[in-house]
Structure 1
Amino acid sequence: MSFKLNIITLGLLAATSGVSAADFSVHKANLQGLKLDAYQCKSCIGEKRYQGELQLSAGWAENDDIHAGNAFGDASDGMRAAMDADVRYRNAGYEANVQAYQLGLENSYAHLDAGRSGQYALNLDYQLLTRYDSRAQTQLWHNNGVLLPDTATRDVDLQLEREKVGLGLAAQYGVMQAFINYDHEQKTGNRRSSLVTPRPVNFALPVDANTENLNAGLNISGENWLSELAYHGSFYRNNIDNLSLPYLPDVYAATPDNDAHQVSLSGQYMLGRGTVNGRVAAGRMLQDGDLIQVSGNPLQSWDAQVDTLDARLGFSNMLSPRWRVNGQVDYSERDNKSSVWEFAQLEFDNVSGAFKQNVPMDIERLTYKLHSSYRFNSQYRLMGGYDRKEVERSYLEREQTHDDAFWAKLNIRALPNTVIDFGGRYENRSGSVYNAVENTSIEENPLLRKFYLADRERQAVELKANYVPLSWLTLDLNGYYAKDDYAKTIIGLTESTDYGYDLQLGMQLSEQLHLYASASQQWIDSAIAGSQSFSSPDWYSDIADEFINLGAGFTYSGLLDDRLTLGGNYLFSNSASDSLISYNEVQPYGDYYSYNHSVELYGRYALSERMGLKLSYQYERYYDTDYSQSAVNSIPGLITLGDLNHNYNAHLLMFTFSYLLP
């Protein structure tokens, strides 16, 4: 039976019983002339009362693959229970709110906020997120930092769990408001990894790390301005050190501990029909960890420091009731001040005898944006803009690049019951000379161009349409096409296209019956040129990726004297990736293929005005196949984690009791 409800979760629930809260109502509104008896607020709370809904769920899951937990919220097989809540409390100007979702399962959250408007506020948060990969097979078992070989093959679940607890406080006095927020996240589990000892070995890497975040600040606001001074700190600690084998120490380097600090000042000023806003932030990232001692390593520890500086200045102005202009300038700098030393150099896995200093890489970005929108009339609006990004990098193949982008969009409402958005975009990237051999090793082909540094030309178009031909029928369509051309690249990515569509249909056939359907497809085609002879291109690769999503569902209410509501949802998704290699002859390189069927059926029955029952059933059929997967010892000289592909059917039946607070 799965029911994860720890002390922290219980504390959040217990805190709701005696907490008072903030009043967000408007006291000085002019109500003269309004017919108040014609309106009813179903979400409003009286002078002193609780309001909301509580749900208790219990059910049964049947699955033989932990991957099903990504769809069902928990990977356990058998009985499970959970609780949901959405409760509000008000009393004499105080207000409290409690939300909870699937407490008791491996993917859940709870939130509590309480306070008094204009004076103070308190919030508590709890979140549990679990991502399931696969059940692996391994002959290496972790014990106190040592990977112990075993003749027997053991099963281990590849999954990562993130458990976060947060606390926040805020107080307001006049035009000033101060806040402080703290959260702690613990990340545990196992993930895929590999090492060479001296042959390649895949193993389950244990994960046990903590991250603490601290945010604090002060807000000051006036009649037409506001400002904020804030601090953000992040502190990462890895509880697992370097991994060793019984006969070889420190074969796997652990992720080092690190800290990050940032202080920022931001503000906004309103002047007539325009606004000006800006932000300046200075930060420092620190890392001080011991290095694994190997021959040729002159340092005992690594003192890493990166100073950051970020700035933004933007404006928005209504030049006329029809014409708006926006602009923004962003600056970002990363100054690497880490250790610099001479290290022994390797050439094709052999020590060359030469020594060379490591180079701390810096990066500087400057971005300009100028956008405008003009409304001709109620039927036509034209938007357009120009974006430019300048990037300067040190000690890379290309030190300077600049991207220029022009875009335009036309909004049309001239056709009856129709809204159309049509847009286009053109981008171009160029920069300084590409020095492949000088700034990289001699093992890299000088004709190679890395796609994020290479010259590139992009053309893209997009069409969006919303059509309501009948009062009960709605149709939404989105189509797009983009092409990237790397015309000056001889070896590397030479061309890429990305196109597809999204279609949604909604039908309210009657007051009781609602239907919907959706369909989307996406295609990504890429062309790559390579060289086996370390010179001009002599082989080529074409990669085709395809994604399909289909969905449909219904809701039928009003049955059994408006007590019963039936509903259902179906989703099909499919993805495929095929690669062809042309080297003397065309041959497939290997492919990836997956599909998924998801079905949900449910019925809700109202026992009374406040109590209700819900019975739901979920089914998932999942299958994938990756050509790179193989059994543990099926390839001589290589140890894997086994075949990690999925092929399963999973079922979930849940019974839920709900209660509306008076």
Structure 2
Amino acid sequence: MNNHNRHNRLPLRLSTLAFAIISTMAYSEGYGISSANRDSLKLDGWKCQRCAVTTGTHGQIGIGAAHNDGEDSRFGNTTGTDKDGVVASLEANVTHQNETGYRTRFKADKLGYENGSAALTTGKPGQYAITAAYRGITHYDTNQALTPYTTQNGRWQLPQQWQAGATTAQMSELNASSVATELKIARDRYRLNGAYRGDFYKAEIDYQHEQRQGQRTASANLLTNSTMLAQRIDDSTDELNAKLYLSGDNWLAGIDAGLSHYSNDEQSLHWQSAFTPTFGAAYFGQSSVAPDNKAYRIAGSTQFSDAGQQVLMHIGFTRMTQDQAYLPATINGPSPMLPSANLDGQVDIIEMKLNYSGRITRELSLRASYDYRDRDNKTEINSYPQIVTDSYYAGNAANPEYDRTKQQVNIAAKYRIAPAAYIDVGYEYDHNNYSDLDRQSLQELTLFGKFNYRVSSQWQLWLKAQASDRSGSSYQAVNTTSSPSNPLLRKSYLADRERQRYALYTSYSGDSYNISANAHWMQDDYTDTLIGLTNVETQGYDLSAQYTINDNLNLNAFLNQDWRDSDQAGSSNYATPNWYSSSEEQSTLIGAGINYANLMDKKLNLGLDYTYADGQSDTQVVQGLRSPYGSDFSTKHNINAFADYRVSERVGLRFDWIYEQYQDADWANQGLTLDTLPNVLSFGDLSHDYGAHYFGLTLSYQL
């Protein structure tokens, strides 16, 4: 579709959509099971004749050994570990239950990998349970980031023989001193949970400790010179939550409270400059990191239900505080006086919710809700010195409040006319009040409608349409910063916007197969924006199918494609628009799999899955001449195969093979060397291009 046609389509107005929704009310769905009269049912005589309780110990436990190709650490996001070579793991799913009903269960999945987990639960089902769990969560970015820096006493230092330069090309020791470093963040999450259920109440307490360690990309700046650093991550979060719920005939009430404490063992990002000072004596730099902070929360909820009607009420209060001591305003030259020793920050949040849902007639049901959320920043407003890149004093500025009050109203109705069709229509109103933003208030009106039709017992489809209109108070660009915005600029999250969204879904289920498909389209039109994001259009579809050839052989496949086109306008002279850009993004995901069971006298199960993922973005800027950006794409092929062989009645052997081929490119990074940019000391080219294998062997024993 060309841009001229796309920009000149008339948007669907709210009134038009409302008329279209109302006009479809002649077609609707039948009566659901929720409307059936169950008062006369006699349940006392219903007994399970085959509900025998299995006692003793059963399940399986396994020991795994795998060879992993960790040459490119990104492959670890697929396999669960970036270790190059042999990796051992524990797999388990074991349950023990005695004759009195007490049960203990232990589960482990790849325990020994950085992305592994284990959980031990004991108790009496339906009465109480105690759980102790561990989970490792690691994200691998790259292990090929080049840097001459090493950490000494928590500070980033350069080699003793380092020769500083005005540009990267003048740093004679740059290439010889740079070594590859790893960028990844590993989380170790420990959890202890206890729950008890009485006749009319339920109590639960949960404690979680999460430790993060690793390194991530950080930019360290001194005036016009910038250095990429592998910032150390070493922090922890402790959370304690408790709940108590009481229940009776047609009602439920509860209270829950929580505490959270974040602690950062890193006090600052302190580095030695690789550049000769632009002026003065800025040989070192320092910037702050995330400070220690705490949060407290208490909330209460009640629910009442009777005769198909249900009311839910909720109120909660949260307080967040921060009182960590300030760093000096600068370490280069005399530091201006700070107004206080620490922020002594406090933010209070009040939230209230009221929800109603009920069946008015056999055909009509209604639902309504009101949500209120108020964020009140009670931190004292002071005048703080503004230090530009830890180099020079640029005056004072007050800390903004950024208060926000949000109110949201939702009203919807579901109407059944025919046994196989229904419509669902609704109205949403979202109102926000802000402080210290370019707009003081913002409101959005939304109408939506959904038509659902069951063509047969096997085939169903639905169509959903939605239109919304966002507007607000007069736009006044904030001018309290050192670099104020162009008065014509409209920030996308505050700008006037008209949105249309449509979705179509259908599925068909046969005796041995099922097929589903959906398509979606959305357009955002920023009607009053001269500079900023002006238009966004997204569309896509999904197809999936599963076919069971027989009891042993199963096939599946899926296809997903999405497109996103966006336009924006800008100004290079702080005036009216004089340049324009358009971005076209697309993604494709294709997959297919086969599972074959009970081969070789029912001893062997085989499985094979293949996925292909491709994403790319093309951006062009027009300012007199058309200037396309370079390559920006990622492509992945993944094959995942297994063979599970039953050696004996109790002993099993499983073989896993994963092959992944991955390549990406970013025009802003591709082909970059350490000295490509004269005033930026980078990590070099961080793109990926690898083909890697994973071979795993697991020996399991059936208890």
Give the TM-score, by structure 2 length: 0.85
Q: Spell out, residue by residue over 1:322-364, the C-alpha distance to the aligned partner (whole angstroms, 9 max, x if none).
A: 2221111111111001131123568999989865433212011
State the alpha-carbon separation in 2 of the partners of residues 537 and 528 from structure 1: 10
Q: Spell out, residue by residue over 1:74-103, the C-alpha distance to the aligned partner (whole angstroms, 9 max, x if none).
A: 011111121222222221121222221111
Q: CA deviation at 1:473?
A: 2.7
Q: Which runs of structure 2 are paired with 1:590-601 in the superposition (5 Å)?
A: 590-601=630-641
Q: Helix, strand or coil for the counterpart of 2:323?
A: strand
Indicate the residue corresponding to 1:244 in structure 2: 270
Equivalent residues of 2:231, 2:269 under 8 A apart: no
Indicate the residue corresponding to 2:97 in structure 1: 90
Indicate the residue corresponding to 2:157 in structure 1: 148
Q: CA deviation at 1:375?
A: 2.1
Equivalent residues of 2:222, 2:390 under 8 A apart: no
Equivalent residues of 1:63, 1:648 under 8 A apart: no
Range with bigger deviation, 83-92 or 66-75 = 83-92
Match of 1:166 among 171, 191, 195: 191
Are residues 439 and 452 of structure 1, via their aligned partners in 2, closer, same or farther at CA, if it must alter by over 3 Å? farther
State the alpha-carbon separation in 2 of the partners of residues 393 and 497 from structure 1: 28
Q: Which runs of structure 2 are paired with 1:247-258 in the superposition (5 Å)?
A: 248=283, 251-258=286-293
Indicate the residue corresponding to 1:640 in structure 2: 682
Give structure 1 stretches of 5+ with no counterpart.
1-27
Indicate the residue corresponding to 2:147 in structure 1: 138
Q: CA deviation at 1:441?
A: 5.8
Range with bigger deviation, 161-170 or 602-611 = 602-611
Q: Spell out, residue by residue over 1:367-394, the C-alpha distance to the aligned partner (whole angstroms, 9 max, x if none).
A: 1111221222331011111111111001
State the alpha-carbon separation in 2 of the partners of residues 548 and 453 from structure 1: 31
Are residues 183 and 344 of structure 1, via their aligned partners in 2, closer, same or farther at CA, if it must alter by over 3 Å? closer
Equivalent residues of 2:437, 2:478 under 8 A apart: no
Q: Spell out, residue by residue over 1:465-506, the C-alpha distance to the aligned partner (whole angstroms, 9 max, x if none).
A: 1023x4223211010000000011000000001110111011
Letter in 2 for 1:612: G
Quote the sequence identity (%).
31
Q: CA deviation at 1:590?
A: 3.1
Q: CA deviation at 1:604?
A: 1.5
Equivalent residues of 1:106, 1:128 under 8 A apart: yes
Equivalent residues of 1:132, 1:160 under 8 A apart: yes
Q: Helix, strand or coil for the counterpart of 2:629?
A: strand
Match of 1:464 among 490, 505, 513: 505
State the alpha-carbon separation in 2 of the partners of residues 347 and 134 from structure 1: 31
Q: Spell out, residue by residue over 1:43-81, the C-alpha distance to the aligned partner (whole angstroms, 9 max, x if none).
A: x642x2122222222121224100000001101111112
Q: CA deviation at 1:545?
A: 1.0
State the alpha-carbon separation in 2 of the partners of residues 146 and 214 from structure 1: 33
Equivalent residues of 1:397, 1:439 under 8 A apart: no
Q: Helix, strand or coil for the counterpart of 1:501?
A: strand
Match of 2:255 among 229, 237, 240: 229
Matched, 1:320 2:355: no
Indicate the residue corresponding to 2:210 in structure 1: 185
State the alpha-carbon separation in 2 of the partners of residues 204 and 347 from structure 1: 22
State the alpha-carbon separation in 1 of the partners of residues 691 and 483 from structure 2: 51
State the alpha-carbon separation in 2 of the partners of residues 557 and 220 from structure 1: 48
Range with bigger deviation, 555-564 or 182-191 = 555-564
Equivalent residues of 2:196, 2:203 under 8 A apart: yes
Equivalent residues of 2:222, 2:389 under 8 A apart: no
Letter in 1 for 2:402: M
Q: Helix, strand or coil for the counterpart of 2:601?
A: helix
Q: Which runs of structure 2 are paired with 1:188-203 in the superposition (5 Å)?
A: 188-198=213-223, 199-203=225-229
Q: CA deviation at 1:536?
A: 0.6
Q: Helix, strand or coil for the counterpart of 2:541?
A: strand
Matched, 1:330 2:371: yes
Letter in 1 for 2:236: N
Q: Helix, strand or coil for the counterpart of 1:241?
A: coil
Letter in 2 for 1:619: Y
Indicate the residue corresponding to 1:273 in structure 2: 308
Indicate the residue corresponding to 2:570 in structure 1: 530
Q: Which runs of structure 2 are paired with 1:373-522 in the superposition (5 Å)?
A: 373-415=414-456, 417-436=458-477, 443-468=484-509, 470-522=510-562
Q: Spell out, residue by residue over 1:188-240, the C-alpha distance to the aligned partner (whole angstroms, 9 max, x if none).
A: 00001111134100010000001000001221111211111111111000001
State the alpha-carbon separation in 2 of the partners of residues 280 and 359 from structure 1: 27
State the alpha-carbon separation in 2 of the partners of residues 561 and 352 from structure 1: 80
State the alpha-carbon separation in 2 of the partners of residues 63 and 140 from structure 1: 24
Equivalent residues of 2:202, 2:245 under 8 A apart: yes
Range with bigger deviation, 477-486 or 241-250 = 241-250
Are residues 81 and 197 of structure 1, via their aligned partners in 2, closer, same or farther at CA, if it must alter by over 3 Å? same
Equivalent residues of 2:222, 2:285 under 8 A apart: no
Equivalent residues of 2:629, 2:667 under 8 A apart: no
Q: Which has the higher contact order (CA 8 A, sep 6+)?
A: 2
State the alpha-carbon separation in 2 of the partners of residues 504 and 228 from structure 1: 42
State the alpha-carbon separation in 1 of the partners of residues 691 and 389 from structure 2: 48
Are residues 592 and 442 of structure 1, via their aligned partners in 2, closer, same or farther at CA, if it must alter by over 3 Å? closer
Letter in 1 for 2:425: G
Are residues 155 and 227 of structure 1, via their aligned partners in 2, closer, same or farther at CA, if it must alter by over 3 Å? same
Equivalent residues of 2:538, 2:564 under 8 A apart: yes
Letter in 1 for 2:314: R
State the alpha-carbon separation in 2 of the partners of residues 351 and 432 from structure 1: 37
Matched, 1:30 2:33: no
Indicate the residue corresponding to 1:604 in structure 2: 644
State the alpha-carbon separation in 2 of the partners of residues 297 and 490 from structure 1: 42
Are residues 659 and 193 of structure 1, via their aligned partners in 2, closer, same or farther at CA, if it must alter by over 3 Å? same
State the alpha-carbon separation in 1 of the partners of residues 687 and 484 from structure 2: 35
Structure with more strand by fraction: 1
Indicate the residue corresponding to 2:590 in structure 1: 550
Matched, 1:371 2:422: no
Indicate the residue corresponding to 1:13 in structure 2: none
Are residues 310 and 297 of structure 1, via their aligned partners in 2, closer, same or farther at CA, if it must alter by over 3 Å? farther
Matched, 1:219 2:228: no
Equivalent residues of 2:388, 2:394 under 8 A apart: no
Indicate the residue corresponding to 1:176 in structure 2: 201
State the alpha-carbon separation in 2 of the partners of residues 639 and 631 from structure 1: 9
Indicate the residue corresponding to 1:657 in structure 2: 699
Q: Helix, strand or coil for the counterpart of 1:560?
A: helix
State the alpha-carbon separation in 2 of the partners of residues 340 and 557 from structure 1: 68
Give structure 2 stretches of 5+ with no counterpart.
1-42, 160-172, 273-281, 330-334
Q: CA deviation at 1:460?
A: 0.7
Q: Helix, strand or coil for the counterpart of 1:634?
A: coil
Indicate the residue corresponding to 1:103 in structure 2: 111
Equivalent residues of 1:242, 1:250 under 8 A apart: no
Match of 1:77 among 72, 81, 84: 84
Q: CA RMSD in A?
A: 2.2
Are residues 325 and 278 of structure 1, via their aligned partners in 2, closer, same or farther at CA, if it must alter by over 3 Å? same
Equivalent residues of 1:461, 1:480 under 8 A apart: yes
